[in-house]
């Protein structure tokens, strides 16, 4: 049993603490017709359940007058980031009563963003910046390698061109020498 828990811990991603009542945005990578894009779903967290790698949360939002709910596994690999914009003061773990509420009645009392969420977001932004810097450095190194390879290929081509020129010159000298012997034979 402990072996399974250890394997699950390796697969866990660094995510913010999500509670019912939070207004969260989920950035998920979606692949359509061979192209990747990031899709954002913003809504209110109405339920959190499970633990470890099986932990899920449900987001609800009203889109064009219709309530839309999505259930996301917290550690889903296609989720690039989760951003919590607001936290609300709630007294229940499951906010199913929001399904019947509409308009202003469906709003929750705002409590602000928790400090731990702000710290987590700052850490996440720093990690993203470091990753971008590493990618830039890697691309610079690759471009330098490619430039060196191109220079090497150009030098090879020049060397080969010089060798061919020398061969032609030698061939030209031979033909001149042959013509000179032919001319001398013709004169005699």
Coil, strand or helix: which one is 96? helix
Average pLDDT over residues 14-42: 90
Q: How far apart are CA 151 and CA 166, in angstroms?
A: 22
Q: How far apart are CA 131 and CA 128, in angstroms?
A: 5
Closest among 19, 26, 14, 25 to 87, alpha carbons compared: 19
Q: What confidence tier does 129 reach under pLDDT thresholds 50, 70, 90? A: confident
> Residue 62: is its pLDDT beyond 60?
yes
Average pLDDT over residues 3-9: 83
The predicted-structure confidence for 106-116, as pLDDT tens digits, reads as follows 777 777 666 66
Q: How far apart are CA 30 and CA 171, in angstroms?
A: 65
The predicted-structure confidence for 29-55, as pLDDT tens digits, reads as follows 999 888 999 999 999 999 999 888 888
For residue 130, the 8-state DSSP code is H
**Higher pLDDT pick, 167 / 28:** 28
- Tell me which residue has tokens 């009542």: 21
Q: What confidence tier does 184 reach under pLDDT thresholds 50, 70, 90? A: low
Q: How far apart are CA 97 and CA 91, in angstroms?
A: 12
The region of weakest confidence among 14-23, 110-119, 132-141, 143-152 is 110-119
Q: What's the CATH number for 2-113?
A: 2.30.30.790
Coil, strand or helix: which one is 89? coil
> Residue 134: is its pLDDT beyond 80?
yes
Highest mean pLDDT among 27-41, 97-111, 124-138, 154-168: 27-41
Q: What percent of the chain has pLDDT over 70?
A: 78
Give the burial string for 41-51 (b: 16+ CB within 10 Å, else e): eebbbbbbeee
Structure tokens given for 42: 């913003």
Q: How far is the first Cα of the chain from the last one, in angstroms, to the nearest whole number?
A: 108
> Residue 16: is its pLDDT beyond 80?
yes
> Residue 6: is its pLDDT beyond 90?
no
pLDDT of amino acid 145 = 80
Q: Which secondary structure element, helix H or strand E, spans residue 156, and what is its range?
A: helix 115-187
pLDDT of amino acid 56 = 92
Structure tokens given for 17: 């603490």
Average pLDDT over residues 86-100: 84
Closest among 125, 49, 41 to 78, alpha carbons compared: 41
Q: What confidence tier does 124 reach under pLDDT thresholds 50, 70, 90? A: confident
């Amino acid at each position: 049993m402990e072996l399974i828990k250890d394997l699950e811990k390796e697969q866990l991603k660094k995510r913010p603490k999500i509670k019912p009542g939070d207004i969260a945005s989920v950035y998920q990578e979606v692949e359509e017709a061979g192209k990747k894009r990031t899709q954002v779903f913003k809504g209110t967290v109405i339920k959190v359940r499970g633990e470890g790698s099986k932990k899920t949360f449900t987001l609800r939002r009203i889109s064009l007058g219709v309530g839309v709910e999505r259930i996301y596994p917290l550690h889903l690999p296609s989720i690039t980031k989760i951003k919590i914009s607001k936290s609300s003061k709630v007294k229940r773990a499951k906010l199913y009563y929001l399904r019947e509420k509409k308009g202003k009645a469906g709003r929750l009392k705002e409590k602000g963003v928790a400090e731990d969420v702000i710290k987590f977001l700052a850490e996440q932004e720093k990690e993203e910046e470091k990753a971008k810097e590493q990618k830039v450095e890697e691309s610079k190194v690759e471009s330098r390698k490619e430039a060196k390879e191109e220079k090497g290929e150009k030098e090879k081509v020049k060397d080969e061109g010089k060798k061919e020129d020398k061969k032609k010159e030698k061939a030209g000298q031979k033909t001149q020498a042959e013509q000179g012997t032919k001319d001398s034979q013709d004169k005699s």
